[in-house]
Amino acid sequence: MTRASLDKQPHEVASMFDDVAERYDLTNDVLSLGQARLWRKAVAKAVDARPAQKVLDLAAGTATSSQPFAQAGAYVVPCDFSLGMLQVGKSRHPWMPFTAGDATKLPFKDDTFDAVTISFGLRNVRETDQALREMYRVTKPGGRVVISEFSHATWAPFRTVYEEYLMRALPPVARAVSSNPDAYVYLAESIRSWPDQPTLAAMLQDAGWSKVAWRNLTGGVVALHRGYKA
């Protein structure tokens, strides 16, 4: 897979993440210029995990994103369809219940989780609408969804600079720090082809979520979408 589109083959995406699993967290910190840590903190605050709550962390990778929920006392299930990511995560956090799963066919019962969250993984799901419906299905009534995803910068001059960084600066940086730099070319292109903030909000509403809202982070480079299950 060398070019990005919204018609993704799941096995190709999974294989790509298998290849970058070992150095994925380090690479993200470098490529985001340190912003990834701030984005994770914003997600943790939005999810607001509490003791004894059940949290499903989709596209959890090595479970770096899952740690704040566990530290808050919640029972968190890191779920990903990349076995390579899960294996690296399990070696680092052997006590966590890592689960292999496809976001469009989640291996969980209806009304199981108090919160479902996915960070920087929704755009890699082939059937986004189906994934949003599945998240709704496994969430308890009154529960919430939090989606952190790359989006569209809101200030035009900054948007131009950002897109230039994605397509010109990101690949050489990825070559220096990543085990599979071609994967990051795909990721950069997938960011450019992803829907904007209002479009994703409408997709959430169509999937059944209510009280849908979003907040821009880093000038809209990332958007934090939230919704609730009535």
Residue stretches of the annotated binding site: 62, 80, 102-103, 119
Name the pairing type of β-strands 113-119 and 139-150: parallel
Q: What backbone torsions phi and psi does residue 215 show, to the nearest 5 degrees?
A: -135, 135
Q: Cβ(53)–Cβ(75) under 8 Å?
A: yes
**Partner residues linked to 57 by β-bridges:** 78, 117
Which residues are known binding-site members for S-adenosyl-L-methionine? 62, 80, 102-103, 119
Q: Is the dihedral of CA 137, 43, 22, 13 positive or negative?
A: positive
> Which residue's entry shows tokens 């009280």?
211
> Which residue's entry shows tokens 């914003």?
42
Specify the length of the chain in residues. 230
Name the pairing type of β-strands 99-100 and 139-150: unpaired
Q: Is the dihedral of CA 61, 209, 4, 221 positive or negative?
A: negative
Taking each continuous run of H as one helix and of E as one strand, the counts in the chain are 10, 7
